[in-house]
Copies of this chain bind each other. A is one copy, B any other.
Amino acid sequence: MDKQVLFRKFVDFTTGVHRTTHEIAKGIKLDAVTPVQYKMLEYIAVSQPVTLSSVADCTHMSLPNTSRELRKLIDKGLCEKVVDGEDRRKQRIRLSVQGQALMNGVFGHMQTELDRRIEGLSAAQLKEIEQALDLLQTRIFK
């Protein structure tokens, strides 16, 4: 097995994934939020409710900077935070109704874009894609 060839394919592939997700995302142009703030929203959307520390960890940001950017998101009315009942140092952060609507729109747009890319494929071909996603995720991108 030629590992050089596999590596080359790997690099080309990840480049393609980055390009594709960028193309899908750029069509959205949320002028209300910065890229970093969007990353936070995306994480909160799929994992809510979350603590500030977990947002910081998962977005690879420092706690002070995460706190600052969350404040901006709250000021924009996109997030809410409630002090945790158990441990009053912690917070439960989630999307506001408005933030949820925003992210629903984003995910809807992404789904549309994906649909556009896979339209015309047969059920068997879609199944193949699904299996390929599963395979790569369990073997490499865990």
Contacts and interface: CB of A to CB of B under 8 A. Distances in A.
B136 A13 contact: yes
A129 B126 CA distance: 17
Interface string A9-33: 1111110111111100010000000
Nearest to A42: B15
26 contacts: A1-B127, A7-B110, A9-B134, A10-B114, A10-B133, A11-B107, A11-B110, A13-B133, A13-B141, A16-B137, A16-B141, A17-B17, A17-B141, A18-B18, A20-B141, A26-B60, A114-B140, A118-B140, A125-B139, A128-B135, A129-B136, A129-B140, A132-B132, A132-B135, A133-B136, A136-B136
